[in-house]
């Protein structure tokens, strides 16, 4: 290894090729992050040269190059192991400066830069040998186009006008043109700029011999600049290990890896409170399915290397295996994102678990459909999916802790792997049935039904999760995706993710409904508003139309439902409430819907869901101060009453979460609401609007806060299991 501090002239002047391997990530530097700061540094040094001051050379960082064997008479070749973003950007800057200085009329000065970008024609044998730096496959077309463009450059006419390469070149060209100006100092400034770029920038070059371990150096230095994803690191590792010719490596890249650099795979998706590229998340989940051990996201690259080394799996065999699994992953993800049409049981599982924000179960899917393993009988495959889904949904409804879900899934995978794949469904059901820990037990029918009959589920479950459950009930009644497998009674399943959730008895029922009533069990209407039986799925248009309206009358909810609502789960509201929609109707419908849920997500006959020891829930009393501390509402925010009789009454939030009405402080939203209405009971979280132009209340802020606790818990924190109101 040779290490030296060099200038761009030292690095680029000699005829050579600096090749960015195709397995490195594409060009990702940006204007805000790197181009503008780089130009400011170059300009600062050049300004000193113009003024005749002694400039201090500017340090640009380090690059790692590795010598490659070459035939005598051919251009010397080095592979860019690290620093490809820096070298590529420097080439774009140099070429933009060359173009600008030449267009200004100083061709001789510009020629000093041309030799730093292009190899003279008499040194080259192939067209691609023209440029000193040759980027990774994905960026070559844009790089070649902008670096070869005729002067003056019309960037808008370039076919790759939207690529980062072209945008970077255009940025530097524009900045340099502005800095050079048009006055009589133009030639002085052109000379100063060229001198600065050639000799007053410094780079540490680590030059490796052909037999040195480039991968180790790469891993050590990868944290500089824009952080590399797990997928970037794994790609580099795999293709470094690939024993083939450069053309063979390029063919393997196109066939097996290039897809990971498409929008689907580069999209960031959330897992817990952290976003990952989908490719990195897939590789983590695939690795868990292969190794049957928990792999934290921060350790995926190290675990991947260990897996490849320990398994002695040649990367020539690994790439097609990964590719097959990734195709299956993309196919079922694409299908699950389609809102209409029938889904396979596996695709429905993907949709429902995504609605529950549960990426943790994906390794199970990848193990079940692993193309390298024997196919699981369809009946057993469906049984695994129904079992895992039932376990997740039931625990979500009863608000069981999501701590250690990763461990539970890994334990299940090990159990499945130790038995015949032909019995996968039976094994999965038996595994969950014997769980007795608070972190893994499978809630039984009695606990689930008790929760559903009494819980204000609208306030205790994220909207996407609750909507998915109501959709599942609708499809069950239509005969789609049932455990019994009965023929559909309807032409199609309902449209997924389309409807919004509406309360039949409105949240603000006092505006248009009669006085409070109780059901046969003595439960008041206020306590039934947010229960399951009072919730329906409506289109957003119909939801907005009926909103807080009355039950009967020409514009009432019942007539609107009859005219426009077609879901079977809405028809039972119409049929039950002919003359009125009462508290008893809500209770009866809750019971009916709860029975549907027990059928859709069953447990084995006789399963009780018993826990060894006492289940202790952490109770979170969420206060306005929590929302302020979480940044969900700012101190000083003016909030307004939503009810029509007190519409426009204001309150203000203090820094410590107090609520001030007419200069008087209240500790809770409900207390502040009661002060406005004079009532003995008010639902403060609903009463106060935080977005007076719309319909956003503190319930929405509370839901956002609670979701963050739920998600954090799934990924190993010790956050809340239960939410209570103030």
Quickly list DSSP for 467-509.
HHHHHHHHHHHHT-S-SS-PPPSSSSPPPTT--EEEESS-TTG
How many whole angstroms from its chain centre is CA 330? Answer: 15
Average the pLDDT over each of 131-145, 152-166, 612-626, 696-710 and give the range with the smallest value. Answer: 612-626
Quickly list DSSP for 119-139.
--GGG-SSGGGGBSEE--GGG
Angle at 334 (CA atoms; ends 332, 339), nearest 5 degrees? 110
Q: Tokens 């508003």 — which residue?
A: 529
Confidence of residue 150 (pLDDT cuts 50, 70, 90): very high
Please list, in sequence order, all residues whose beta carbon lies within 8 angstroms of the beta carbon of residue 483, skipping any fewer than 6 positions away: 386, 599, 600, 602
Nearest CA among 722, 726, 681 for reference residue 699:
726
% residues pLDDT > 70 (the chain): 89
**Average of per-residue pLDDT across 635-640:** 88
How many whole angstroms from its chain centre is CA 722? Answer: 25
Region for residue 677 given its phi and psi (left: phi exceeds 0; alpha: psi -120 to 50; beta: otherwise) = alpha
pLDDT at 654: 86
pLDDT at 682: 75
Evaluate if residue 184 carries a pLDDT over 60.
yes
pLDDT in tens, 194-214: 999 999 998 888 888 766 655
**Average of per-residue pLDDT across 236-247:** 78
Torsional sign, CA 601, 604, 606, 611: negative
Q: In whole angstroms, what is the distance from residue 540 CA to residue 559 CA? A: 17
pLDDT at 687: 82
Evaluate if residue 668 carries a pLDDT over 90.
no
Q: Which helix (H) or strand (E) holds 452?
A: helix 445-454
pLDDT at 205: 87
pLDDT at 261: 86
pLDDT in tens, 321-345: 999 999 999 999 999 999 988 889 9
- Partner residues linked to 66 by β-bridges: 79, 208
Confidence of residue 164 (pLDDT cuts 50, 70, 90): very high
E strands present in 74-182: 76-82, 133-134
Evaluate if residue 409 carries a pLDDT over 50.
yes
- Partner residues linked to 724 by β-bridges: 621
Which backbone phi and psi does 201 adopt, to 5 degrees?
Answer: -110, 145
pLDDT in tens, 105-117: 999 999 999 999 9
Half-sphere exposure of 101 (CA within 13 A, CB side): 25
**Average of per-residue pLDDT across 671-681:** 82
Please list, in sequence order, all residues whose beta carbon lies within 8 angstroms of the beta carbon of residue 372, skipping any fewer than 6 positions away: 321, 324
- Partner residues linked to 620 by β-bridges: 723
Evaluate if residue 630 carries a pLDDT over 80.
no
pLDDT at 516: 75
pLDDT at 224: 46
Q: In whole angstroms, what is the distance from residue 301 CA to residue 317 CA? A: 19
pLDDT at 537: 93
Confidence of residue 722 (pLDDT cuts 50, 70, 90): very low
Q: Residues 266, 253: contact at Cβ < 8 Å?
A: no
- The larger pLDDT score, comparing residue 542 to residue 718, is at 542
pLDDT in tens, 33-89: 889 989 988 998 999 899 998 887 887 888 888 888 766 667 888 888 888 899 999
Q: Residues 687, 641: contact at Cβ < 8 Å?
A: yes
Confidence of residue 148 (pLDDT cuts 50, 70, 90): very high
Please list, in sequence order, all residues whose beta carbon lies within 8 angstroms of the beta carbon of residue 468, skipping any fewer than 6 positions away: 351, 352, 355, 356
Exposure b/e, 342-372, CB count within 10 A at least 16 = b:
ebbebbbbbbbbbbbbbbbbbbbbbbbbbee
Q: In whole angstroms, what is the distance from residue 215 CA to residue 153 CA? A: 39
Confidence of residue 320 (pLDDT cuts 50, 70, 90): very high
Average the pLDDT over each of 233-237, 320-324, 431-435, 635-639 and give the range with the smallest value. Answer: 233-237
Average the pLDDT over each of 70-84, 127-141, 355-369, 658-672 and give the range with the smallest value. Answer: 70-84
**Average of per-residue pLDDT across 270-280:** 77
Confidence of residue 90 (pLDDT cuts 50, 70, 90): very high
Evaluate if residue 382 carries a pLDDT over 90.
yes
pLDDT at 710: 45
| Other residues' Cβ atoms within 10 Å of the Cβ of residue 608 | 14
| Average pLDDT of the residues of the chain | 84
Tokens representing residue 92 in the block:
């774009």
Confidence of residue 135 (pLDDT cuts 50, 70, 90): very high
Q: Residues 85, 225: contact at Cβ < 8 Å?
A: yes
Percent of the chain that is helix, strand, coil (3-state, to 5): 55, 10, 35
Average the pLDDT over each of 10-14, 438-442, 448-452, 719-723 and give the range with the smallest value. Answer: 719-723
Torsional sign, CA 133, 139, 141, 142: negative
Evaluate if residue 355 carries a pLDDT over 70.
yes
Q: In whole angstroms, what is the distance from residue 263 CA to residue 362 CA? A: 20
- The larger pLDDT score, comparing residue 490 to residue 422, is at 422
Confidence of residue 681 (pLDDT cuts 50, 70, 90): low
Average the pLDDT over each of 7-16, 366-375, 455-464, 596-605 and give the range with the smallest value. Answer: 455-464
Q: Residues 683, 527: contact at Cβ < 8 Å?
A: no
Confidence of residue 721 (pLDDT cuts 50, 70, 90): very low
pLDDT at 143: 94
Evaluate if residue 665 carries a pLDDT over 80.
yes
Q: Which helix (H) or strand (E) holds 445?
A: helix 445-454
**Average of per-residue pLDDT across 609-619:** 62
How many whole angstroms from its chain centre is CA 316? Answer: 30
Evaluate if residue 610 carries a pLDDT over 90.
no
Nearest CA among 506, 510, 512, 515 for reference residue 586:
506
- The larger pLDDT score, comparing residue 102 to residue 514, is at 102
pLDDT at 227: 58
């Amino acid at each position: 290894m040779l290490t030296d501090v060099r200038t761009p002239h030292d690095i680029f002047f000699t005829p050579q090729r600096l090749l960015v391997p195709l397995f490195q990530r594409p060009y990702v530097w940006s204007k805000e992050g790197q181009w503008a700061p780089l130009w400011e540094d170059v300009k600062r040094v050049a300004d000193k040269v113009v003024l005749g001051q002694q400039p201090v050379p500017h340090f640009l960082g380090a690059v790692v190059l590795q010598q490659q064997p070459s035939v005598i008479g051919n251009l010397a070749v080095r592979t860019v192991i690290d620093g490809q973003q820096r070298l590529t950007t420097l080439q774009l800057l140099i070429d933009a400066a060359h173009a600008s200085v030449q267009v200004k009329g100083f061709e001789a000065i510009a020629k000093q830069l041309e030799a730093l970008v292009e190899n003279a024609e008499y040194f080259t044998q192939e067209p691609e040998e023209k440029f000193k730096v040759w980027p990774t496959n994905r960026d070559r077309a844009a790089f070649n186009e902008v670096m070869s463009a005729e002067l003056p450059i019309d960037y808008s006419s370039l076919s790759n006008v939207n690529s980062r390469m072209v945008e970077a070149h255009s940025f530097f060209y524009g900045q340099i043109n502005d800095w050079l100006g048009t006055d009589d100092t133009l030639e002085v400034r052109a000379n100063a700029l060229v001198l600065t770029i050639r000799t007053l920038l410094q780079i540490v070059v680590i030059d490796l011999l052909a037999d040195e371990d480039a991968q180790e150096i790469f891993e050590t230095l990868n944290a500089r600049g824009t952080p590399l994803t797990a997928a970037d690191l794994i790609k580099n590792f795999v293709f470094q290990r690939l024993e083939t010719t450069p053309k063979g490596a390029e063919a393997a890249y196109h066939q097996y890896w290039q897809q990971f650099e498409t929008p689907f795979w580069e999209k960031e998706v959330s897992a817990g409170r952290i976003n990952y590229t989908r490719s990195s998340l897939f590789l983590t989940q695939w690795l868990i399915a292969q190794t049957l051990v928990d792999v934290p996201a921060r350790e995926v690259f190290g675990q991947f290397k260990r897996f490849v080394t320990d398994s002695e799996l040649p990367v020539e065999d690994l790439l097609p295996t990964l590719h097959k699994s990734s195709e299956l992953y993309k196919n079922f993800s694409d299908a699950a994102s389609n809102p209409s049409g029938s889904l396979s049981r596996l695709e429905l599982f993907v949709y429902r678990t995504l609605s529950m924000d549960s990426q943790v179960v994906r390794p199970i899917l990848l193990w079940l459909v692993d193309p390298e393993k024997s196919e699981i009988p369809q009946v057993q495959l469906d049984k695994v999916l129904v079992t895992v889904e039932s376990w997740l949904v039931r625990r979500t409804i009863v608000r069981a802790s999501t701590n250690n879900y990763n461990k539970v899934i890994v334990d299940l995978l090990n159990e499945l792997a130790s038995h015949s794949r032909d019995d996968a469904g039976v094994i999965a059901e038996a595994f969950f049935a014997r769980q007795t820990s608070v972190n893994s037990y499978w809630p039984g029918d009695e606990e689930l039904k008790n929760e559903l009959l009494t819980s204000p589920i609208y306030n205790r479950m994220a909207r996407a999760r609750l909507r998915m459950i109501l959709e599942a009930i609708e499809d069950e009644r239509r005969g789609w995706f049932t455990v019994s497998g009965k023929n559909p009674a309807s032409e199609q399943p309902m449209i997924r993710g389309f409807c919004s959730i509406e309360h039949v008895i409105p949240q603000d029922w006092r505006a248009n409904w009669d006085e409070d009533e109780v059901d046969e069990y003595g439960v008041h209407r206020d306590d039934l508003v947010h229960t399951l039986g009072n919730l329906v799925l409506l289109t957003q248009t119909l939801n907005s139309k009926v909103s807080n309206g009355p039950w009967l009358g020409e514009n009432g909810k019942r007539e609107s439902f009859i005219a426009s609502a077609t879901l079977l789960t809405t028809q039972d509201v119409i049929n039950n409430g002919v003359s009125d929609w009462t508290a008893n109707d809500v209770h009866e419908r809750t019971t009916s819907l709860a029975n549907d849920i027990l059928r859709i997500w069953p447990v084995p006959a006789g399963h009780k869901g018993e826990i060894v020891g006492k289940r202790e829930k952490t109770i979170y009393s969420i206060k306005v101060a929590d929302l302020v501390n979480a940044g969900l509402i700012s101190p000083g925010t003016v909030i307004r009453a939503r009810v029509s009789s007190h519409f426009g009454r204001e309150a203000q939030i203090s820094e410590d979460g107090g609520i001030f009405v007419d200069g008087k402080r209240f500790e809770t939203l409900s207390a502040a609401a009661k002060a406005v209405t004079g009532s003995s009971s008010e639902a403060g979280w609903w009463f106060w609007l935080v977005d007076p132009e719309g319909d956003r209340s503190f319930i929405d802020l509370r839901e956002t806060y609670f979701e963050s606790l739920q998600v954090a818990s799934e990924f190993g924190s010790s956050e809340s299991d239960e939410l209570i109101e103030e």
